[in-house]
Amino acid sequence: MASTSQQTAPVIDITMPWFGMDIGGSLCKLVYFEPKDITKDEADSEVETLRNIRRYLTKNSAYGKTGHRDTHLQVHEMGQNWRGTAHFGDAATACFMASPLMEDVYIRGRKGTLHFIRFPSSEMVNFLALAKSKGMANLVTTVCATGGGAYKFEEDFRREVNMKLEKFDEFDSLLKGLQFADAQNPSECYYWASPTDDTCCTKINYDFSNPYPFLIVNIGSGVSVLAVYSPTNYKRISGTSLGGGTFLGLCCLLTGCNTFEEAIQLAAEGDNTNVDKLVRDIYGGDYERFGLPGDLVASRERRSKVSRQDLARATLVTITNNIGSIARMCATQEKIDRVVFMGNFLRVNPIAMKLLAYAMDYWSKGTMKALFLEHEGYFGAIGCLLQFHNDGDIKSQVLASLKYGVKMHFIQKKKEKFSLILPASSIHLAPCKFKNEETERIQCIFPPTWYSNVCNDVCAHSDQSCCGKRKRQFNNVCCQDENEEESEDTCDPCQSQRSKSVCKQPVCSQKGGSQSTCSKCYAPATKKSRRGGAAPCPKPRPPVCSRKRRKGPPKSVYDDYCQLCPQTDAEDDDEDQCDIGYKSPIPRKKTPNTAESYANIVLHYLSKLKGLFKSARERNNDSSSYFDGEKYDPISKSILKKGIRRSGYSDSDSENKQKVYDIVNAALQYGCANDIIEKVGNYFLVKAKSPPQKVATRRPTPGPDYFRCASCKNLSKFATRRKSVVDLRGKDKISSKFRRHSTYYDDDYGRTTPTRRKRSASNTSVVNYCPKCYSRMKSNRRL
Ligand SMILES: Nc1ncnc2c1ncn2[C@@H]1O[C@H](COP(=O)(O)OP(=O)(O)O)[C@@H](O)[C@H]1O
Ligand SMILES: CC(C)(COP(=O)(O)O)[C@@H](O)C(=O)NCCC(=O)O
């Protein structure tokens, strides 16, 4: 059998098409992931239909009459990009051309290119017919979909192309897509400098790595305004029906144009002042007292001799200004100063973007910033794609692994979501720009929607995460009750909501920000942090373990051990209470953010698997590093012997074995421990030396090795020569203190039982004393 060490284990069946769909009121956005790391085996197993579909999607840029692929959002192509040179100065072009877009992105551990396709939602029937003609119906696929159309067209998809729509919330998807795009594309976010001056107006990159809080104004058919406080904490605060749909509808009616592109083209050539009545038309100049400039549109009215162009421009300006005004009010109300505008209304629409940029800046007196994004209207579809349909399988695996304690090191389940604990807590998740391999790995396993309310941004730059939720299991900070209602207050740096009862321990590692106290734990911020520096709060975190543990010995090898204190952990957390505050004898170390740290975790659980085969290995006098019934020769890389007898296991053992086996296998598949473990055939081979495992230490009990001192009752280890004294029962010279013990009979194992036998010369027995008591007795009583 060939070694698997060189190959990347396929995570999910790549041979099925990976689509994310956002079916909106006007446009259907389709994001397609084209795999670039397809192996020969995968290529061979791929059916002809799929190959054709891939070729059709990636080789064309127009589909039917109304479908288009936005190639400029996938890769920069000189000349093809409308932003390239036509509208902007050199600086803007240079900035744009320098940035990578969506080629060679990693999703679920697979490398590929994202393709961005759109067509009018009204063409859904034709789209389905096309998909059917390409053989989609034979594939029986599941596609993640969002937007109103995911509900509206669900039945049509099933009927026409045998496709199941896995539906996701459109704003959840929007946010996930935005985080992903920003993490992938360094120049995703930008703003307009000098928006009113056509000659020097430039597009400048905006570093969006620490974005919270911000406002999203999604201008699609209608407009939705979301206030976003953290990657998963947001609310829809407002909206208006006067959006892109209104503009297009009005413009078509007023000018007789037919398409959005035509409407924008007309608007670019028109002058809205020919239509609009300005403040200066009424006041003769500015209305200074209330700061209304003369060229502000006072009202909209149709005058004589206006061109189609003027009408288009006036419609565009009207709709845009109205949205800008709502956005500004929302931002003021929420005390947010960054407003991100997105949605396809902004597609090929620099007039609207510049107007918004100017309006936000002017009316906020420079305190608010309008931000824009390259992939304007595709975030919902991207977010959907990230929630690829096989997630269901992964989710059940993760749930199973949590149940058996396998991944408790780095995952915890919070309601319907999972949050990542160590070592993931020190890992940069999107939208942080400092991505690394581990981030991708963890993101491969856990789709973004499963992340709990974690702080991804500020925590990312240090191990001292400010978000208590992630470290809850380690009880470092802010241990929040799972079912607790969260308050409105937010943690300043990360903007994650905080609980009213957080931080019973007044400790925190987070930055104080501009507050005088840390808003999460109320610990005073340092002077440095008050100045906005990055000093951590002064108090150290106590190394306590909050995990509940079982009292007494473990039931089986599958009992979970608390990793902090070496006590056995309860299967059911609610039943057995751990001593909260029990000091960990194991110093908590900063977990290095390396691939090895993942591998070590997996190795730890592999040891459980190993445990099951221990007896088999011993019987076969075989100590090599494999865990299943096949012997492996690392030199020839082949299996030498098959079928080691596996007698002596109970049914539950083999059931457990299978579960742990599955989980370790899954972890390997997702690339968690490929450097150290290799799967060959039906077993795992440890390639590197396993790290020392934390072994749960049991308290010594009286037995062949230990005895209980008849005097002090402490347990002592038997020396090679046992120190015993003969209790002469009345004939001795032992003081009353020691005589008290003579009424007890200590057996060979140190068990002390009261004796009912009468005193007699023959009633003598061996009594064990610890060396300390023995020597004390000997010296004091001349024994
Ligand atoms: N090719 C196009 N066809 C129709 N509308 C377009 C087009 N390009 C941009 N738009 C604008 O984008 C709006 C739709 O934006 P989008 O973000 O896709 O919202 P929705 O999800 O409601 O479809 C339209 O109302 C229109 O103003
Ligand atoms: C209903 C919608 C969320 C649908 O999203 P869309 O397809 O427009 O992107 C959106 O059109 C909207 O928020 N409309 C505004 C409704 C209002 O607040 O008046």
Residue 513: CB within 6 Å of ligand 1?
A: no
Q: Which has the closest alpha carbon to 100: 370, 347, 374, 432?
A: 374
The domain spans of the chain are 18-186, 202-270+307-373, 547-586, 595-686, 706-781
The one catalytic residue in 123, 160, 166, 170 is 170
Q: How high is the ipTM of this complex?
A: 0.98
Report how far ligand 2's centroid is from the alpha carbon of 378 (Å): 16
Q: What is the pLDDT of residue 549?
A: 37
Round to whole Å and give the CA distance between 651 and 657.
10
Whether residue 774 has pLDDT greater than 90: no
Buried b (16+ CB within 10 A) or exposed e, 83-118: bbeebbeeebbebbeeeebbeebbbbbbbbbbbbbb
Mean pLDDT of the region 603-632: 48
More confident position, 468 or 384: 384
Mean pLDDT of the region 727-746: 39
* Residue range 487-508, pLDDT digits in tens: 333 333 333 333 333 333 333 3
Whether residue 655 has pLDDT greater than 70: no
Strands 338-342 and 369-373: parallel
Reduced to 3 states (helix: H, G, I; strand: E, B; else coil), residue 88 is: coil
- In the numeric block, the tokens 């080691």 are attached to 644
pLDDT band for position 630 (cuts 50, 70, 90): very low
Report how far ligand 2's centroid is from the alpha carbon of 182 (Å): 24
Q: What is the pLDDT of residue 7?
A: 30
Buried b (16+ CB within 10 A) or exposed e, 523-540: bbbbeebbeeeeebbeee
pLDDT band for position 727 (cuts 50, 70, 90): very low
Ligand 1 atom with least separation from CA of 24: 21
Residue 636: CB within 6 Å of ligand 2?
A: no
The DSSP result for 438-450, as a single string, is: HHHHHHHHS-GGG
> Which residue out of 224, 247, 330, 379 has the highest number of ligand 2 atoms within 8 Å of its CB and is therefore the one to mutate?
224
Report how far ligand 2's centroid is from the alpha carbon of 67 (Å): 23
Residue 245: CB within 6 Å of ligand 1?
A: yes
Q: What is the mean pLDDT of the chain?
A: 64
Q: What is the pLDDT of residue 608?
A: 59
Considering 48-62, 222-236, 464-478, 631-645, the range whose residues carry the highest mean pLDDT is: 222-236
More confident position, 400 or 667: 667
Element (H, E) at 181: helix 170-184
Whether residue 372 has pLDDT greater than 70: yes
Round to whole Å and give the CA distance between 213 and 496.
9
Q: What is the pLDDT of residue 305?
A: 76
More confident position, 723 or 597: 597
3-state helix, strand, coil in the chain (%, to 5): 35, 20, 45
Tell me whether the CATH fold assigned to 18-186 matches the one assigned to 202-270+307-373.
yes
Q: What is the pLDDT of residue 288?
A: 84
Residue nearest atom 20 of ligand 1, based on CA coordinates: 24
Check if the beta carbon of residue 525 is closer than 8 Å to that of residue 515. Answer: yes
Mean pLDDT of the region 416-444: 40
Residue nearest atom 14 of ligand 2, based on CA coordinates: 222
Q: What is the pTM of this model?
A: 0.55
Lowest mean pLDDT among 90-99, 278-287, 439-448: 90-99
Q: Which has the closest alpha carbon to 328: 382, 369, 269, 376?
A: 369
More confident position, 390 or 557: 390
pLDDT band for position 30 (cuts 50, 70, 90): very high
Q: What is the pLDDT of residue 632?
A: 43
Whether residue 734 has pLDDT greater than 50: no
Ligand nearest to the CA of 117: 1
Mean pLDDT of the region 88-117: 62
Report how far ligand 2's centroid is from the alpha carbon of 121 (Å): 15
Cross-strand bridge partners of residue 230: none
Round to whole Å and give the CA distance between 686 and 18.
34
Q: What is the pLDDT of residue 334?
A: 94
Round to whole Å and give the CA distance between 423 and 49.
42
Strands 706-708 and 715-717: antiparallel
Mean pLDDT of the region 462-472: 33
More confident position, 467 or 27: 27
Report how far ligand 1's centroid is from the alpha carbon of 219 (Å): 8
In degrees rounded to 5, what are phi and psi of residue 655? -65, -45
Whether residue 340 has pLDDT greater than 80: yes
Q: What is the pLDDT of residue 261?
A: 95
Whether residue 578 has pLDDT greater than 50: no
Q: Helix/strand/coil (H, E, C) string of 328-390?
A: HHHHHHHCCCEEEEECHHHCCCHHHHHHHHHHHHHHCCCCCEEEEECCCCCHHHHHHHCCCCC
Please give the CATH topology (third level) of the domain spanning 202-270+307-373: Nucleotidyltransferase; domain 5 (3.30.420)
Query: Residue 647 has which token pair?
Result: 């007698």
Query: Residue 567 has which token pair?
Result: 């006590």
* Residue range 383-405, pLDDT digits in tens: 988 876 444 444 544 555 555 54
Ligand nearest to the CA of 66: 1
pLDDT band for position 597 (cuts 50, 70, 90): low
Residue 320: CB within 6 Å of ligand 1?
A: no
The percent of residues in the chain predicted with pLDDT above 90, rounded, is 23
Q: What is the pLDDT of residue 250?
A: 95
636: DSSP letter:
T
* Residue range 517-529, pLDDT digits in tens: 333 333 333 333 3
* Residue range 668-720, pLDDT digits in tens: 665 556 666 677 666 666 665 544 444 445 666 777 777 888 888 888 877 64
Q: Catalytic annotation on 166?
A: no
Residue 229: CB within 6 Å of ligand 1?
A: no
More confident position, 569 or 238: 238
More confident position, 710 or 356: 356
What is the assigned CATH class of domain 18-186?
alpha beta
- The contacts of residue 258 (CB under 8 Å, 6+ apart) are 252
Q: Which has the closest alpha carbon to 190: 331, 366, 374, 365?
A: 374
Ligand nearest to the CA of 23: 1
Report how far ligand 2's centroid is from the alpha carbon of 252 (Å): 20
Residue 224: CB within 6 Å of ligand 2?
A: yes
Ligand 2 atom with least separation from CA of 221: 8
- In the numeric block, the tokens 């991708």 are attached to 440
Residue nearest atom 18 of ligand 2, based on CA coordinates: 239
Whether residue 52 has pLDDT greater than 60: yes
Check if the beta carbon of residue 525 is closer than 8 Å to that of residue 537. Answer: yes
Report how far ligand 2's centroid is from the alpha carbon of 439 (Å): 34
> Which residue out of 22, 27, 69, 384 has the highest number of ligand 1 atoms within 8 Å of its CB and is therefore the one to mutate?
27
Whether residue 243 has pLDDT greater than 60: yes
Count of beta carbons in the 10 Å neighbourhood of residue 167: 15
Residue 536: CB within 6 Å of ligand 2?
A: no
Residue 169: CB within 6 Å of ligand 2?
A: no
The percent of residues in the chain predicted with pLDDT above 70, rounded, is 47
Q: What is the pLDDT of residue 302?
A: 57
Mean pLDDT of the region 295-310: 76
